[in-house]
Amino acid sequence: MKKLIIILSLALLTACGSGLDTRNMTAENLFQQGKDYFEDNENIEAQKMFDLIKLQYPASQYADDAQYYLAEIDFKREKYILAAFNYNSLRRIYPSSEYNKQSLYMRALCYYNLSPPFERDQEYTLKAIESFIEFQGTYPNDSLSIESDFKIKEMREKLAHREFSIAELYKKLDDPKASLVYYDFVINKYDDTQYFEDSYMGKVESLLKMKRVDEAQNIIMLYDKKFPEGNYNSVMKDMYEKVKSIKE
């Protein structure tokens, strides 16, 4: 392991294309040089300086600074998976670092940026929500907790959109039993999204399609209580009268 570190250190020392002689530089010198490169958007050169600190001065007071700026470089270069790893590594290796709060939020932001359109797999959307919630639990009074709320809301809208779109697809395929499952999922899990009310409408239509009249009537009555000024009030009223006539 020692041999590997020496080889890597030599490689970094000789790789500095700027011609800068780093062999006798202190951790402080390396950090200041790396920070200057970072601020000038010379990210590759900055990364070399911070890597040298981690290799040559792992126990110095600048080690956590180097780790943080390595994560920041990855974030600037939109390498969000690697950035999330580096932010998380900082919190794990340096639990008392002044960068812990920012690293926790930035890790969540990495997953947020990795979150794809609603049609695709939502693994990173879920990770983003979990990370923003962790930030709020750790720093409830921080101003970034408010920003986290907005991000969580946005991500939940996306997840609800995905489930609702699947329900609508089954509706088009004339499979009310399958569509009902997904409408129910939105109703039970995403009651704070714009798809909550729409899913009640879809659920009633699915139940009527399956001739489950009593259940449809109960859902219409529940809708009326939950949404006294709802978008589907007149439609639901017509459906209720239709259900009553069927039962009679």
CATH of residue 41's domain is 1.25.40.10
Q: Is residue 15 part of a domain?
A: yes
- The angle that helices 100-114 and 80-93 make with each other, rounded to 10 degrees, is 160
Asked whether residue 185 is assigned to any structural domain, the reply reads no
Count structural domains, the chain. Answer: 1
The answer to whether 148 touches 134, Cβ cutoff 8 Å, is: no
Residue 45 lies in a domain: yes
Map tokens 């529940």 to a residue: 222
User: pLDDT, tens digit, for every residue of 156-167?
Assistant: 999 999 999 999
In a domain, 90, yes or no: yes
The residue-averaged pLDDT of 37-42 equals: 97
Structural domain contains residue 8: yes
Rounded to 5 degrees, φ, ψ at 59 are -105, 10
- What range defines the domain where residue 21 resides? 1-102
Q: Is residue 187 part of a domain?
A: no
Q: Is residue 49 part of a domain?
A: yes
Segment 202-220 shows an average pLDDT of 95
Residue 71 in any domain: the answer is yes
pLDDT for 243? 82
Predicted TM-score (pTM) of this structure: 0.87
